[in-house]
Chain A
Amino acid sequence: MNENNPFSAPSRQSPAAIVLFLIKFLKITVRQAWPALIPLLVGTRKLDFSDWYVYALIIGVAAIYLFFSIFSYLRFYYHLNEGEIVIKKGVLTRTVVNLPFEKIQTIDFKQNILQQVFGVVEFAIDSAGSKKQEVSLTAIPLHQAEALRQFILDEKKQKATGQVEEAKSEEAISHEDSLILKLHISDLFKVGITQNHFKSFGLMIAFSFWVMDQVRKITQENDFGEEEIEETVVNYANGTLFFWLLFTLFLVFIPFVISLFSTVFRHFNMQLSLSKDGLKLTSGLFNKKQRSTTLNKVQATAWGHNPLQKLLQISTIKIYPASSASIRLKNILTIPGGKEKHVNILLENLGLGSKDAQFKTHQISEFYYKRTFWIVGIIPAFLATVVSFWNWSFYSLFFCLWPVLVGSTTYLQYKKWKILVNENILRIQFGLFGLHNKIIFWHKIQAVKISRTPFQNKYGLANITFYQAGHQIKVPYISIGLAEHLQSYALYKIESDQEGWM
């Protein structure tokens, strides 16, 4: 540790923090309570500003806010300790945060208008934790913030010098990007055909409503009677089957074409390549997009297909890099329309072996569908039938279809569920009509949870969840023995891991 640490004594932020806290509290209140506040300002129950109690109320609220802002400032201390930053804060609930320098991913300065006026910055530290747990100092004078950042980065570097050289020698070996896969136009058309078209169907419906609205507005402006137009439309519609055919075609065909082309444009010339920096995915015709991740940061890899995709022999491949929960979805590398061989090449490059490597297969318990059949299927359907029988008489027997639906779908899911295990890898298989795969290294797990319902306790069953950085895998209804073995082995692999997981 550097002997002359200028930040070793606990210090407060700039007093400007009081104002910034005040504004932050106000923002939070307004954001959460605006539905309640609006009726107070407008409408029938609005506050009468001639009453004294309104002013008392406003002054009271303001005093509370001021009190909290001042005390938040007074009770907020930060300092740098042996290899870590320590923050003590909280008015009613005291919190002490310790963040070791090695865990720091990035340090950002942020400045809004007020912070510019006061000449302070927000000192935000990203530690790959959840969003609300990130460490952030609201008001630090700029020069001090820069010194603080420099100091932390220097300390961090000193610790990591050994690792840096290692990484350099690796660089020299593989310098060129190697192409893992490339999607051709024909692949993209397959993707466009087989994807879910419900989204564009919804857009189409919204568009139709918009058009109808416009037509109505025009007719009003032009002094056509509204009925007149409606009448013509209705006559026309009743008169010809042709209209309905056209209409249906419009609703079905147009969304299909829209999503087909948007898919082709979006994924145009998609390439996944491997370089010294890791994986890189580029695509797009109009908007070029590039996503990348280092190999070390890859947490899980998934591939799978729906029945249509299976027919055309393509799968969707997803690569999950480590990320904080808030930006998780943005970070996933998604490759639609990969082929068998692509999956294999990718897995090999990630060190996960081939798709057909040797695994021991385990299944989930049949109670998975039996239990769901009763709890989600039979019981609610029975209750619904009984309750509605007085009003709907025999129509309520339609509720009896519900258990059939629940039972058959969960049975299909039960049949698909598989847990494949070998020395280094955990792989799961699941799906309803399609089949999906997820594959992870044991040592890339960071926490394991076993949870059991009273029913599962009675029948020796359990659910197990494997947590990764920004990703998780849950396996339902396995025997408690298997769950404990999976847990013990995962812990053994994590705790003896030398490579790191992100």
Chain B
Amino acid sequence: MSEVEDTLFENADIDIQALPNVATSNFNPLAGNYFWVIFFRANLIFLALSIGFFIFLLQSGEVNGIKIWAYLIGGFTAFWLFLNIFLPFSFRKKGFSIRERDIIYKSGLWWTKIIVIPFNRIQHCEVQQGPFSKIFGLKSLTVFTAGGGSSDLKVNGLPDNKADQLKEFVLTKITNEDE
């Protein structure tokens, strides 16, 4: 934990410095296969968009001259290369952690984000499998909080059985916490 000039507040009943730190907890990486899901999805979308764009340009007939075409194709290739270099790095930054009383998900290479939901604030959870993930035998787990939307948390790229296990685990946690 980085240095803080002074304490959070006086007369705390616990030592705040000694509380477990979220950022340094043990993060599980997502299943390696999931990279290919992201990879294929991103490339497919990119391919579809660029094909659409070029067909539109060809059909409109407004772009003339070999030079402009060279620039356009060069630009698209550069972006495509950048995308595929960026993806593995950003993939490595994704991870989740299950602690005794909460679940953590982090992501982001440059713009980082880390979200924590305690089990006793989870409303329900859901296991999903998209067509791509199905090929690789992966599932995703989403946990929902009350009021919905922005504070929900989704863990992608979990191996089939692990996703179901995790869901069972979270479910027992959230029903026990309520008593």
Contact = CB atoms under 8 A, between A and B. Distances in A.
Interface of A: 83-84, 90, 92-100, 102-103, 127-131, 133, 322-325, 328, 359-360, 362, 421-423, 445-454, 457, 460, 467-472, 479-482, 484-489, 491-492, 494-495, 497, 501-502
Contacts of B153: 447
B101 interface: yes
B131 A467 contact: no
B22 A469 contact: no
A100 B121 contact: no
B125 A129 contact: no
Contact of A83 (B13, B116, B117, B175): B175
A468 B151 CA distance: 8
B145 interface: yes
A96 B166 CA distance: 13
Nearest 9 pairs of A and B residues by beta carbon: A130-B148, A467-B151, A470-B147, A446-B121, A360-B9, A481-B4, A469-B147, A469-B146, A488-B19
B147 A484 contact: no
A488 B175 contact: no
Given A99-B123, A100-B175, A129-B124, 18 more contacts: A96-B128, A98-B167, A103-B124, A128-B148, A133-B148, A423-B12, A446-B118, A446-B147, A447-B116, A451-B108, A451-B111, A470-B146, A470-B148, A484-B1, A484-B22, A485-B1, A492-B14, A494-B120
B129 to A, nearest CB: 5
A96 B126 contact: yes
B63 to A, nearest CB: 24
A67 to B, nearest CB: 16
Contacts of B110: 453-454, 457
B150 A472 contact: yes
A494 B121 contact: yes
Given A129-B146, A481-B3, A489-B16, A447 B111 contact: no
A448 B147 contact: no
A93 B111 CA distance: 29
B148 A129 contact: yes
Contacts of A103: 123-124
Nearest to A457: B112
B146 A489 contact: no
A501 B113 CA distance: 25
A421 B129 contact: no
Contacts of B151: 446-447, 449, 467, 472
A447 B117 contact: yes
Given A469-B146, A482-B4, A448 B125 contact: no
B66 interface: no
Contact of A129 (B115, B117, B144): B144
6 contacts: A93-B128, A127-B123, A325-B148, A452-B111, A454-B110, A482-B4
B113 A450 contact: yes
For B4, B9, B10, B115, the residue with the greatest tally of chain A CB atoms inside 10 Å of its CB is: B9
B8 A94 contact: no
A29 to B, nearest CB: 21
Nearest to A361: B9
A468 B147 contact: yes
A488 B20 contact: yes
Contacts of A102: 175, 178
Interface in B96-150: 101-102, 108, 110-118, 120-121, 123-131, 134, 144-150
